[in-house]
Amino acid sequence: MLSASFAILFYAATAILVVGVAMKVVRYARVPAPLKIPTTPAPVTRAGVILRMFREVVFFESLYRSNKWIWLFGWTFHMGLWLVLIRHIRYFTYDVWWWVALAQPWGTYAGFAMLAGLLGLWARRFLVERIRYISNPSDHLMLALLVAIAGSGLMMRFVARPDIMSVKAFMLGLLRFRIEDLPAQPILLVHLGLVAVLMIVFPISKLLHAPGVFFSPSRNQIDNPRERRHLAPWAARLEG
């Protein structure tokens, strides 16, 4: 009963995440940018734009220039998150891939880094007057959700270890449309339940910044308006 509920929850969450984000991405891709609006100085070649975007999503270049504290906490959280996600791949493959094994020792510390980053960001929402002003309840809830996920994850690593082989069997089963037994350990269930919630809210929340950044015209456009004419389909129709 418990295993079946969680199986359904994860199938539903995955479907909502994939379909929801896909719909948004299709929309972002379909809606034209009628004018050339890269924030200049901007790259003048496609390769340059790819490099700019790479620096933006890997190093958070603009944020670094803007505010060192937000950068420190934000970057620490996101990089920690990547390592933790990579570490979790082992629960979805029968044989553990070599590069996932490589991330294993780092993934643990990354969990702490992630938590530290989140708490730093959350503290700023209370302590910095300007950021307190712009915060909505959802901004606090999102941080609470992520802190709870990271916290419950670390608890399972260091305090109350679940039967991890059963968890892996359950996940591998889901991938093959079979429902295996999920250990009924409270912390595990909380962890998994919150992850499912995160997946569900992804397409209807500010987490859309993740796909959104790639579609931001001020960052992804090439600075070449004099060389190449840029024309949106609806604008072309004005020319009749």
Q: Where are the alpha helices (DSSP H) in 159-212?
A: 164-175, 186-201, 209-212
| Residue 206 interacting with other proteins (CB under 8 A) | yes
Among 119, 131, 169, 190, binds other proteins (CB under 8 A): 131
Per-residue x/- marks for other proteins, 67-96, CB under 8 A?
A: x--x---x----------------------
Query: DSSP letter at 97?
Result: P
> What length is written for the chain?
240
| Residue 238 interacting with other proteins (CB under 8 A) | yes
Among 127, 129, 159, 177, binds other proteins (CB under 8 A): 129
| Residue 120 interacting with other proteins (CB under 8 A) | no
Question: Which residue number, 159 or 238, has a Cβ lying nearer to other proteins?
Answer: 238
| Residue 147 interacting with other proteins (CB under 8 A) | no
Whether 92 and 85 have beta carbons less than 8 Å apart is answered as no
| Residue 237 interacting with other proteins (CB under 8 A) | no
Among 1, 99, 177, 209, binds other proteins (CB under 8 A): 209
Query: How far is it, in rounded angstroms, from Cα 212 to Cα 159?
Result: 37
Question: Which residue number, 41 or 95, has a Cβ lying nearer to other proteins?
Answer: 41
Whether 33 and 217 have beta carbons less than 8 Å apart is answered as yes
Give the range of 35-43, 96-104, 158-166, 185-193 binding other proteins by CB under 8 A: 35-43
Q: Which candidate, 94, 58, 64, places its Cα nearest to that of 78?
A: 58
Query: How far is it, in rounded angstroms, from Cα 22 to Cα 191?
Result: 25
Whether 52 and 42 have beta carbons less than 8 Å apart is answered as yes
| Residue 21 interacting with other proteins (CB under 8 A) | no
Q: Which candidate, 89, 145, 88, 82, places its Cα nearest to that of 113?
A: 82
Q: Left, alpha or beta for 67 (phi > 0: left; psi -120 to 50: alpha)?
A: beta
List residues near other proteins by CB under 8 A. Answer: 24, 27-28, 31-37, 39-44, 56, 60, 62-63, 65-67, 70, 74, 121, 124, 128-131, 133-139, 141, 204-206, 208-209, 212-213, 215-219, 223, 225-226, 228-232, 234-235, 238
